Amino acid sequence: MRQVPAQILDDASLEELESGRRLILIRGDRPLAEIVPLPKSAQDEGQNEREKERSRREAVERLKKIMAKGLDLGVVWKGRDELYDRD
């Protein structure tokens, strides 16, 4: 579905949409389309998705920093043979 920029609508029309009213686009004297505001849940969902994506990106950046620095586990690795060394 093609998306149309909000700049084609004036502020009063956008305010009507925000308040929940539907608008009919006309050309000449013929109705062309109906603009229907999204339900509040769909508007919130879009915001939540953007917030989740931002959180994911921040988490990835934190992990990259940890991986670049390295993580001290308190164990000194002497090699594979140490695993099989028996007393």
Helices (H) and strands (E) in the chain, counts: 3, 2
- Residue 25 CB coordination number (10 Å): 14
- Position 28 in a domain: yes
Cα separation, 42 vs 65, in Å, equals 35
- Whether residue 86 is contained in a domain is answered as no
87 assigned to some structural domain: no
pTM check: above 0.75: no
For 27-86, how does the pLDDT look when each residue is reduced to its tens digit (9 = 90+)?
888 888 888 888 777 666 666 778 888 889 999 999 999 888 887 777 777 777 777 766
Domain residues for 36?
A: 1-81
Whether 55 maps to a domain, the answer reads yes
40, 19 in Cβ contact below 8 A?
Answer: no
Taking alpha carbons only, the member of 39, 6, 43 closest to residue 20 is 39
C-alpha–C-alpha distance, residues 17 and 38, integer Å: 9
